Structure 1
């Protein structure tokens, strides 16, 4: 499946400033695992990598001293100036429904060559897009809805596809407010354009909800707000097992520093409160966590460590 990437001038400044020059000796991208399957009771789950997005390190926490950010990166054995941000989406099968949770960044951003792998990797996993009954968007940032704007994807989707998104999210992107974000140059324009295009092209397929909606047996989407007004998480529960796909409510640095403001958060203070509440709940009930920007496949648990949290990666199941 081709991507037909073309230059996108609104983010070229960022791409020129932040080059993907830190490869850590990784092999060719097609040799790197890009999907991981697991079960939550009777629910089938597959985490799919959309690739990697390179961003300035300030995106970790724009409300903290740069020296503190640099020290955290050093402790994590990460480069000091470029944050390589994983992009994960999820496929869920339950009750005869096939549900895509988020859809990657899409194929139009030629200046982001290591992202936008979602459609090809779904195809490689043997997923027939015409079998998809539902899409759930945690929110409408371009790295979560862009894959649905790819021509080769749109032409395969069934006409009765349901796209679930919080009503507050759809309303926000009619006239988005970027006054509280701290994004690299070009990204606000790209996000506005993608959000507007998505609403125009998928308006008739949108199924909005207020606070909570059950998509299929054991698959519930819940609005959290914070990151965006309608940001949501997807909760899976079956046979006594539980897993939450947290979207952008949780970032890697957010375990140790949940009060750091991510540059893409539209309400940073509320996003921090959402993050703490969710991490406390996950630590208490010991359920699994998957999130968009944790290292693939990101399946993990949450532990309490004093006044912050600890990310406990789940064991790979071969």
Structure 2
């Protein structure tokens, strides 16, 4: 399957851009924060929203601490906390510009200065947020909706912006259940507040679906549940190529330890079942995977490894 992967640090005039002027990273951007590829005839751009430092226990709060410590050591990761990537995706298909998830935004009470970079990085990529016709939410956790709650952002969005989200997700946040999660202090309140505010500000833009919905030619969102009741994934397919943006269905430890429960999962056992089904499907199809919290640019494929899996990153093409 022929891939056409391009690094936008060299090719900034991709069709997603709305300006012909070359864009270069500022001195504070020491590494690329966006990566472009083609899925058949569809343009896809992965954009980093920054990183989110979280306790390592959240990778598998049901795991034996010694097993978790051994996995972290094998991955050359610190034992206490490390940076989770935050990735979003922009897709251009059928005359539509589709943003999949909206990043963290800013919450001064949580003190996360290295996250919430989406708006400035969209601008650096030459993407005017006013050109976005559709937003797809994999779910309504704060790190997927917060970018649209930043002061001054809404005023530059299209008035007719369509925000696609599973009906079960909207219903869940009317009275969310955190009894099976394992989050740091302050996060449940911040998540409740962000979801409530998002529905208040963007309720008229919401376009809910039950199980599956085609956003544009070759771009389909499908509810999986698990992580949250309305958690969804987005598959982009064209010309025999395919890519799935898995949202929070898959974390970096989930390949080798798919049964480990993540602290943000509202139904951890169902989330594990969803994860295994998704990884099996991707291992069988050979299609590409991108996920919110896999290391940027997070583009890879899945290989089956007995009862577990391996993440196989794509080779960067410069």
TM-score calculated relative to the size of structure 2: 0.90
Q: Deviations over 1:216-238 (max 9, x none)?
A: 00000000000000000000110
Is 2:124 the partner of 1:90? no
Q: Deviations over 1:82-139 (max 9, x none)?
A: 1210000000000000000000000233600110101110010000111110000000
**CA distance in structure 2 between the aligned counterparts of 1:29 and 1:144, rounded to whole angstroms:** 24
Is 2:41 the partner of 1:35? no
Q: Which runs of 5+ in 2 are unaligned?
A: 1-26
Q: Deviations over 1:19-73 (max 9, x none)?
A: xxxxxxxxx7511110000000011000000000000110010001111111100
**CA distance in structure 2 between the aligned counterparts of 1:308 and 1:258, rounded to whole angstroms:** 7
User: What corresponds to 1:254 in structure 2?
Assistant: 254
Equivalent pair of 2:243/2:287 in contact (CA under 8 Å): yes
Alignment of 1:151-170 (within 5 A): 151-170=151-170
**CA distance in structure 1 between the aligned counterparts of 2:184 and 2:124, rounded to whole angstroms:** 33
Q: Deviations over 1:219-262 (max 9, x none)?
A: 00000000000000000110000000000000000000000000
Match of 1:256, SS state, is coil
Q: Which runs of 5+ in 1 are unaligned?
A: 1-27
Kindly report structure 1 stretches of 4+ aligned residues shifted beyond 2 Å.
Answer: 107-110
Report the Cα offset of residue 150 of structure 1. Answer: 1.2
**CA distance in structure 1 between the aligned counterparts of 2:204 and 2:247, rounded to whole angstroms:** 24
**CA distance in structure 1 between the aligned counterparts of 2:151 and 2:158, rounded to whole angstroms:** 14
User: What corresponds to 1:269 in structure 2?
Assistant: 269
Equivalent pair of 2:98/2:135 in contact (CA under 8 Å): yes
Q: Deviations over 1:158-213 (max 9, x none)?
A: 10100000000001011111111011111000000001000110100000000000
User: What corresponds to 2:228 in structure 1?
Assistant: 228
**CA distance in structure 1 between the aligned counterparts of 2:239 and 2:265, rounded to whole angstroms:** 35
Alignment of 1:146-295 (within 5 A): 146-295=146-295
**CA distance in structure 1 between the aligned counterparts of 2:106 and 2:190, rounded to whole angstroms:** 13
**CA distance in structure 1 between the aligned counterparts of 2:255 and 2:176, rounded to whole angstroms:** 28
**CA distance in structure 2 between the aligned counterparts of 1:130 and 1:111, rounded to whole angstroms:** 28
**CA distance in structure 2 between the aligned counterparts of 1:180 and 1:123, rounded to whole angstroms:** 38
**CA distance in structure 1 between the aligned counterparts of 2:254 and 2:161, rounded to whole angstroms:** 34
Report the Cα offset of residue 151 of structure 1. Answer: 2.1
Equivalent pair of 2:106/2:112 in contact (CA under 8 Å): no
Equivalent pair of 2:56/2:79 in contact (CA under 8 Å): yes
User: What corresponds to 1:316 in structure 2?
Assistant: 316
User: What corresponds to 1:64 in structure 2?
Assistant: 63
**CA distance in structure 1 between the aligned counterparts of 2:137 and 2:209, rounded to whole angstroms:** 12
**CA distance in structure 2 between the aligned counterparts of 1:170 and 1:255, rounded to whole angstroms:** 29
User: What corresponds to 2:4 in structure 1?
Assistant: none
CA RMSD for the aligned pairs? 0.9
**CA distance in structure 1 between the aligned counterparts of 2:151 and 2:42, rounded to whole angstroms:** 30
User: What corresponds to 2:126 in structure 1?
Assistant: 126
Equivalent pair of 2:212/2:220 in contact (CA under 8 Å): yes
Match of 2:316, SS state, is coil
Q: Which has the higher helix share?
A: 1
**CA distance in structure 2 between the aligned counterparts of 1:68 and 1:126, rounded to whole angstroms:** 45
TM-score calculated relative to the size of structure 1: 0.90
